């Protein structure tokens, strides 16, 4: 699962993803606690170039009707890699609308038997080089009752690598830079299903952080601060 993540260096997006319009990334604010239903930066291919577009995190299929009061449904913020090409909510997006979701870290809470470990501190997982990463994503256009269209997206998840297996039974699919163009290449003959795998061991590290990140109203540098010693869970993931 991926339910919270960070994007604190948006100024690096344009060169990293070779954006066709670099100016779109210049004014993105630093985000320390991005949560589902919020607008997120996504990169997709248009006219042969990567473009940046803000999308709502929580994929809503075009065929889904509004909730009571014509509200936008919550949608799905994660999509399982194993059923991505089968589930009605995702198969059309996988075949026709794949995107990259930039991040420089994501949070996870330790789980045992599918349930959160009581009192355990959340962990911030980052690339070993502290650079940018790209989650594999899929997106849809949802038409609201007033006729306007809203892009919505989901992060694709897969089984954990060695690091994440100590925390959770799922992790986001993290695409290597050399695979970005292939993931967003929507030609029918291109099926990038082989990219839906765990990140290689040694490419990520994890640090325990303060429980304040559990509150979506907290979106500041303090979310990245290491957990106080009394809240640490033995230091298993504190070393690179």
Residue 15's closest CA among 52, 40, 55? 52
153 included as an active-site residue: no
Looking at 2, 99, 153, 223, which residue is catalytic?
2
Looking at 99, 108, 140, 223, which residue is catalytic?
108
Rounded distance, CA 90 to CA 75, Å?
Answer: 11
Rounded distance, CA 150 to CA 134, Å?
Answer: 22
Q: What is the CA radius of gyration of the chain?
A: 18
Tokens matching residue 90: 């995702």
| Contacts of residue 173, Cβ cutoff 8 Å, sequence gap at least 6 | 81, 135, 136, 155, 156, 157, 158, 195, 196, 197, 198
CB neighbour class for 153 (10 Å; exposed up to 12, middle 13-18, buried from 19): buried
2 included as an active-site residue: yes
Is there a contact between 100 and 181 (Cβ–Cβ < 8 Å)? Answer: no
Put residue 203 in one of left, alpha, beta given phi > 0 → left and psi -120 to 50 → alpha: alpha
The residues that are catalytic are 2, 108
């Amino acid at each position: 699962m991926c339910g919270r993540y960070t994007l604190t260096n948006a100024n690096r997006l344009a060169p990293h993803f070779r954006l066709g319009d670099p100016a779109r990334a210049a004014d993105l604010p630093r985000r320390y606690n991005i949560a589902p239903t919020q607008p997120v930066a996504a990169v997709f291919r248009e006219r042969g170039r990567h473009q940046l577009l803000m999308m709502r995190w929580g994929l809503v299929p075009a065929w889904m009707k509004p909730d009571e009061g014509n509200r936008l449904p919550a949608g799905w913020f994660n999509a399982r890699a194993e059923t991505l090409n089968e589930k009605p909510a995702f198969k059309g997006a996988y075949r026709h609308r794949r995107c990259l979701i930039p991040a420089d870290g994501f949070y996870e809470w330790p789980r045992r038997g599918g349930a959160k470990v009581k009192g355990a501190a959340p962990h911030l997982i980052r690339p070993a080089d502290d650079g940018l990463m790209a989650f594999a994503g899929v997106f849809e256009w949802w038409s609201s009752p007033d006729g306007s269209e809203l892009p919505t997206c989901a992060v694709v998840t897969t089984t954990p690598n060695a690091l994440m297996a100590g925390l959770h039974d799922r992790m986001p699919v993290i695409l290597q830079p050399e695979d970005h163009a292939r993931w967003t290449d929507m030609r029918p003959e291109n099926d990038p299903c082989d990219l839906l795998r765990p990140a290689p061991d040694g490419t990520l590290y994890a640090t325990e952080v303060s429980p304040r990140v559990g509150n979506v109203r907290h979106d500041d540098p303090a979310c990245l601060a290491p957990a106080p010693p009394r809240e640490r869970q033995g230091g298993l993931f504190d070393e690179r």
